[in-house]
Amino acid sequence: MPQPNFDPVEVAALQPEAIEAEVTTALKAIAAAATLDELKTARLAHAGDRSPLALANREIGALPPAARKAAGQRVGAARGEVAAALTARQTELEAERDARVLLDESVDVTLPTDRNPVGARHPLTTLQERIGDIFIAMGYSVAEGPEVEAAWLNFDALNTPGDHPSRELTDTFWVESVDSGLVMRTQTSPVQIRVMLEQQPPIYVICPGKTFRTDELDATHTPVFHQVEGLVVDEGITMAHLKGTLDHMAEQLFGPGMRTRFRPHYFPFTEPSGEMDILCFVCRGRSVGNPDEPCRTCSNEGWIEWGGCGMVNPRVLAACGIDPERYSGFAFGMGIERSLMFRSGVADMRDIVEGDVRFTAAFGMES
Amino acid sequence: MKAPIGWLAEHADLPTDLDPRALADALIRVGLEVERVESGAEDISGPLVVGRVLSFEDEPQKNGKTIRWCSVDVGEDEPRGIVCGAANFAAGDLVVVSLPGAVLPGGFAISARKTYGHVSDGMICSVRELAIGDDHQGILVLPADSAKPGADALDVLGLREAVLDVAVTTDRGYALSIRGLAREAAAALGVAFRDVEAALPPADGAAYGVVIDDRSGCDRFSARALTGLDPAAPTPEWMARRLRQCGMRPISLAVDVTNYVMLETGQPLHAFDRTRLRGDLHARRARAGETVRTLDDVERALDPADMVVADDTGPVAIAGVMGGASTEIGPTTTEVVLEAARWNPPSIAYTARRHRLPSEASRRFERGVDPEIAGIALQRCVDLLAEHGSASPVAGYTVVGSPPAAEPIRLGAALPAATAGVDISRPQVVAALQVVGCAVSGDDPMLVTPPTWRPDLTHPADLVEEVLRLVGYETVPSVLPPLRPGTGLTPAQQLRRAVSRAVAAAGFTEVLSYPFVAPAVHDALGLPPDDPRYDALRLVNPLSEAEPELRTSLLPGLLAAVQRNLGRGNRDLALFESGLVFLRDPDAPPPPDLTVLRRPTEDEVAQLYAAVPPQPRRTAAVLCGARRVKTWQEAERPADWSDAVDFARVVARAAGAELTVRAAERAPWHPGRCAELVLGDRAIGYAGELHPRVVAALDLPERTCAVELDLDAFPAPQPARAPRISTYPPVLLDLALVVDEAVPAAAVLHAVRDAAGPLLESVRLFDVYQDVQRLGRGRKSLAFALRFRADDRTLTVEEATAARDAAVAAAGLATGAALRS
Ligand SMILES: [Zn+2]
């Protein structure tokens, strides 16, 4: 009969077969744990203090010394295997749980997000800025002046004869009285006169602004409209420079390949003077003599009238104290509304002036 | 000016196969604005023939009209029966008949139709139905024997001929004539030109007595006389046709001849019945109280600035504008005096406008008439009246006055090339100037004497334009000027752009309203009677009598835009505008009377600028409806006074400035909901909710809010100073203070900020509430979030609390604030 106190005892729990069976049971339970809670239960059952392997571990001390090492290794390896399986399953289940939480938190990202009120700038404002920037980039300054203006600056200094019909009440708004000498400026040209009175050449200015004529509002006219005029006075300025400048402006505003054409015309402020046409922005001239591609915008002319231009009349330079023998200059002007109609396809002038928010909103911050 | 191509061809060697469109393009290239190339045949199709009225019956109708049942020979075997409503023809007259199948201008299709109890087998046409004139007082009767019945009426009427319609600019009076246009056509095409010519008798002053009393108004007066005119002589059809082509109505031979010669030569002429004149003709100013009955049968009061032609009885014509009825050529006139004068252009322009009588004559005189063409024009009239009216010229030719000859202009030979930036040789310059009629002598500078018909050529630049337009503007190359450094936008311009972008980004939409306002709008805005905003500048000639004033505030225009939008169903609005307002400066001097012959002196410029009224730039906004519309996340938030104040703050932030806000009372705002916007120590605007009475008066949505401030008041932004960024942790403390409800939150905030000292990094008011039970009546609680931080160490809670306690004590002293228990 063996002596339990000092004889090695055959412990059933430490038999390799028993340990192997326990490991198999544990791994099966761990794999079967579908939730973190079930895994916790499995951990207690198979890796806890009272788990078969923990109990087996305690029995090792009862073995004869010669058998302890092998049994210790066996139980240690088994516990390690179970612990690794637990950790792996724990990681797996946590990842599944996290994924489920994020899925539960998902939203409909297509819901509207436009909480903040949306504003817009008027396209006439942004177009004037854009034109200003084209010229700023060429070294010009933006010049401005008052809208109620001295008639001398609006007419006389621009070489408009004293009896010119444009001065009449039928064309020009007079302020206070017909002999007040004050008008609502009919053009932005008085700004050019102010510039020439205030500085000597070289002068490179662009003058955008509001102008006024006694036209009733309709689809193509408005009594309050916007113009942009340019003025250059320097040594050696020629009409070729005028043409180059306007061609550049046309390309910048309307796209590559756009260009201008001059036709002789009469303006008191300039001599020689010209009407300025721009290549039709719809057909770009393709409709000319081409019945297959008719163009309603330019009536198959290929060109559209855009503004007026010319070389500054030497009489105007002299009236401003600039030596016409030394300096020459060019000037040009065009309507902003008309340019906007070209650029953005505005069909009716009233849409531009009536202040309907739906019109302006379509242009956003920069047109 | 309308010009039939055939008439032009009489004076310019136009190629016979010339496409009218090509001629128009050539004229456009040299600077004439050809508005249309028209032909009367364009809008007419189908059979249009000459007919002879063989007989007719007048048939009175139940409706009071009388129609004529006519038998008309249209060159067929049998005459046709045609109903006609007009009565200005007789049996035997030649008329124009549109036969069934024809389509007249305006898409008017002719068919055989039953009318007034007959089947009308065609229609006898009026000039209006043929679109060759406006006259609707009857049908067109062709001159006797001018065609055979059945002839193609389009040919007889000359309707197949192309007619150019040319818009003539104010500097080119000579182009208001066939002579002038033919010269341009010849120049544009490089073909020969033949001027109007006539052999003149010696100027012996014997045609009729003429005196020029006012040489400033008339520098030449020429006259011829005729006797034995057959007043019944018809105008030849070729002449009538050309008058119609040029848009004039044939009237009688004498009148038609003067009109025809005016179109041909550009010289307006007037025919008097010699037997109705008393004494010499005088060219003089009208006298006070004088009147004249003009050809249109209107008695017109004359102005002492008007030039008149007068005889012993007084004015017999408004010079250069319209003849008088008393001496008019009539159906019995046999003795004729023809006048061809040259009137001062500004004087004619003034008179024509004052009497609202623009005429073919005044258009030409206003632009300047060739002083040397009068004799030829008179001779043409004499010849035509002799040929077609059996008249005999009375011996003698009266010419009074001598217009000054044109001064030669010195032109540097290189100036045209230097102006254009393209090579133009001296021979090219000379050739171009000679084509327009200048005499050129000298080498360099050349001496160029303009022709008599070009009074607009007075300066070398004028000659340069003549050269360039004939050389061709298309030869000018496209060259950018040498680039030069610029200085960019001014600070004020940058500021304006920044403001515009910032407020748009903050949800405001820009409008650009008209500056015209009704005086009554100031009443509607509830302004006190002495408010300077009433003192608006007025337009002499407003578009609408209801809106004669210029805005002194941007709000009326914005409120009108709000109403327009509301009317279109746009209800949630936040509109803004930046623009000038117009103020009256009672101390402004009148503008000085300045010449343009020299630069004004500095004093004159200063006086000129001072005369222009002050026009500060404002920015303003109006809000109504929802500021934030209802969404799936948030409830709707209506726009309120704070949005208006915030607009001002957005503006100020964009301008790099900070506004202080204090309560104020000012129309048109709600007296308890109006904020004065203060920059430095200056009030620069107001914001808040509009007064309920204003809202009612202008029919605006309840609680409409508005803000307006002076954009010019913001100084140019200075470079910002960088703050020192402490990396030590902050201490965050909240603070709730209870004050009397009348105490402005800004005062409490100010006291807290001042007393908390340099450790206070920021303070933010985050809650306001009133609760009678917990705070007591008339009390409110203001809650602030304070953030303390030190530059050089980690702040302790004790230090921060001490600073907060100091702030509480200071606020208590300044505003009576107590810590909420
Ligand atoms: Zn086109």
pLDDT at A2: 45
What is the average per-residue pLDDT within A143-160?
92
Q: Is the pLDDT of residue B146 over 80?
A: no
B109 pLDDT above the threshold of 90: no
Domain boundary among A70, A104, A138: A104
pLDDT per residue as tens digits for the range B189-222: 999 999 999 999 888 888 999 999 999 999 999 9
Backbone angles phi, psi at B540, to 5 degrees: -70, -40
Q: Do residues A205 and A347 both lie within one domain? A: yes
Contact: B612, A148; criterion CB under 8 Å:
yes
Cβ-defined contact of A122 to B511 (cutoff 8 Å):
yes
User: Nearest residue of B to residue A123 by CA position?
Assistant: B510
Q: Are residues A129 and A92 in the same domain?
A: no
Q: Which range marks the domain in which residue A253 is found?
A: 123-361
Which residues fall within 8 angstroms of residue B587, CB to CB, at 6 or more apart? none
> Chain B residue closest to A248 (CA)?
B480
pLDDT of residue A165: 66
CB B233 within 8 A of CB B253: yes
Question: A38 exposed, middle or buried (CB, 10 Å; 0-12, 13-18, 19+)?
Answer: middle
* pLDDT at residue A177 tops 70: yes
Q: Across-strand partners of B785? A: B734, B764
Peptide bond preceding B668 in cis form (omega within 30 of 0): yes
- B592: pLDDT strictly greater than 80: yes
A231 assigned to some structural domain: yes
| Contact (Cβ atoms closer than 8 angstroms) between residue B416 and residue B424 | yes
DSSP reduced 3-state for B581: coil
The label of the residue with tokens 């509109």 reads B575
pLDDT of residue B119: 86
CB-based burial label for A18 (10 Å; 0-12, 13-18, 19+): middle
What's the confidence (pLDDT) of residue A11? Answer: 66
Class of domain B409-475: alpha beta
What value does the mean pLDDT take over residues B395-424? 92
Which of A241, A320, A326 to mutate: most B Cβ within 10 Å?
A241
Highest mean pLDDT pick, A107-116, B114-123, B725-734: B725-734
- Is residue A367 one of the residues assigned to a domain? no
Q: B491-581+616-713, which class in CATH?
A: alpha beta
CA distance A81 to chain B (A): 49
pLDDT at B465: 94
Q: Minimum mean pLDDT among A150-164, A177-191, B493-507, B538-552: which range?
A: A150-164
Q: Is the pLDDT of residue B132 over 80?
A: no
How remote is the CA of residue A290 from the centroid of ligand 1, in Å? 11
Judge whether A111 lies within some domain: no
Confidence of residue B61 (pLDDT cuts 50, 70, 90): confident
pLDDT (0 to 100) of residue A64: 81
Residues of chain A neighbouring B33 (CB-CB closer than 8 A) = 265, 275
**Interatomic CA distance for residues B341 and B298, integer angstroms:** 23
Predicted pLDDT of residue B38: 84
My answer on whether A336 and A298 are in the same domain is yes
A199 and A325 part of one domain: yes
Which residues in chain B are classed under CATH 3.30.70.380? 731-819
Model confidence at B141, in pLDDT bands (50, 70, 90)?
confident
- Provide CB contacts within 8 A for B343, sequence distance 6+: B217, B218, B307, B319, B320, B365
For residue B313, the model assigns a pLDDT of 93
Residues A159 and A98 in one domain: no
Q: Alpha helices of B220-283 — where are they, by DSSP H?
A: 237-245, 253-265
Residues of chain B with CATH 3.30.56.10: 2-40+162-189, 409-475
Is domain B731-819 in CATH 1.10.600.10, yes or no?
Answer: no
Q: What 3-state DSSP class applies to B160?
A: coil
Residues B680 and B665: beta-carbon distance below 8 Å = no
Say what the pLDDT of residue B135 is. Answer: 62
| Single pTM value for the model | 0.83
Same domain, residue pair A232 and A342:
yes
For residues A81 and A144, membership in a common domain is answered with no
Q: Where residue A162 falls among pLDDT bands split at 50, 70, 90? A: low
User: Which residues in chain A are closer than 8 Å to B217, comparing Cβ atoms?
Assistant: none
**Whole-number pLDDT of residue B416:** 95
Same domain, A127 and A256: yes
Q: Using the beta-carbon criterion (under 8 Å), do A148 and B537 form an inter-chain contact? A: yes
Distance A297 CA to ligand 1 centre (A): 5
- d(Cα A274, Cα A308) in Å, to the nearest integer? 6
Q: How far is A257 from chain B (nearest CA, A)?
A: 13
Quote the minimal CA–CA distance from A191 to chain B in Å.
12
A26 touches chain B (CB under 8 A): no
Q: What is the DSSP letter of B590?
A: P
How many C-beta atoms surround the C-beta of residue A34 within 10 A?
10
What is residue B133's predicted lDDT score, i.e. its pLDDT?
66
Mean pLDDT (chain A) is 90
**CB-CB neighbors (< 8 A) of B353 in chain A:** 165, 168
A115 occurs within a structural domain: no
Interface test with A, best of B363, B479, B565, B619 (most A CBs within 10 A): B479
Does the distance separating the beta carbons of B561 and A147 come in below 8 Å? no
Grade residue B596 by pLDDT with cuts at 50, 70 and 90: confident
A141/B490 CB distance under 8 A? yes
Q: Measured between CB atoms, which of B422, B459, B613 is closest to A148? A: B613
Q: Is A138 on the interface with B (CB under 8 A)?
A: yes
A19 & A161 share domain: no
Task: Express each pLDDT in B535-577 by its tens digit.
Answer: 999 999 999 999 999 999 999 999 999 999 999 999 999 999 9
Beta carbons within 10 angstroms of residue A364's beta carbon: 14
Q: Do B510 and A264 touch (CB under 8 A)?
A: no
Fold topology of B210-400: Phenylalanyl-tRNA Synthetase; Chain B, domain 3 (3.50.40)
At residue B179, the pLDDT reads 96
Cα–Cα distance measured from residue A49 to residue A104, given in angstroms and rounded to the nearest whole number:
37
For residues A248-261, average pLDDT: 93
pLDDT score of B16: 87
Q: Would residue A233 count as lying in a domain?
A: yes
Is residue A180 within 8 angstroms of chain B, CB to CB?
yes
Looking at the complex, does the CB of residue A221 fall below 8 Å from at least one CB of chain B?
Answer: no
* Domain end call among A47, A75, A104: A104
CATH number given to B2-40+162-189: 3.30.56.10
Chain A residues with CB-CB distance to B603 below 8 A: none
Looking at the complex, report in whole angstroms how far the Cα of residue B185 sits from the nearest Cα belonging to chain A: 15
In a domain, A117, yes or no: no
**How large is the average pLDDT for residues B397-420?**
92
Task: Enter the tokens of residue B440.
Answer: 């050129």
Q: Which of A147, A273, A358 sits opposite B570 (nearest CB)?
A: A358
Nearest-10 Cα torsion for B245, B248, B249, B254 = -110
ipTM over 0.90: no
CA quadruple A61, A62, A65, A70: dihedral positive or negative? Answer: negative
The last residue of a domain, from among A104, A138, A165: A104
Q: Chain A, 99-118: which have a CB under 8 Å from a chain B CB?
A: 111-112, 114-118
pLDDT band at residue A211 using 50, 70 and 90 as cut-offs: very high
- Pick the residue from chain B with its C-alpha nearest to A150: B612
Judge whether A1 lies within some domain. Answer: no
Cα of B94 vs centre of ligand 1, distance in Å, is 46
State the Cα–Cα distance between residues B376 and B382, nearest whole angstrom: 10
pLDDT tens sequence across B224-275: 999 999 998 988 888 988 998 898 888 899 999 999 999 999 999 999 999 9
Q: How confident is the model at residue A314 (pLDDT cuts 50, 70, 90)?
A: very high
Residue A314 lies in a domain: yes
Q: Is the pLDDT of residue A19 over 90?
A: no
Q: Which range is least confidently modeled, A7-16, A174-183, B627-636, B750-759?
A: A7-16
Inter-residue contact B708 to B690 (CB < 8 Å): no
Domain with CATH 2.40.50.140 in chain B: 48-156
CATH number for region B48-156: 2.40.50.140
Total structural domains in chain A? Answer: 2
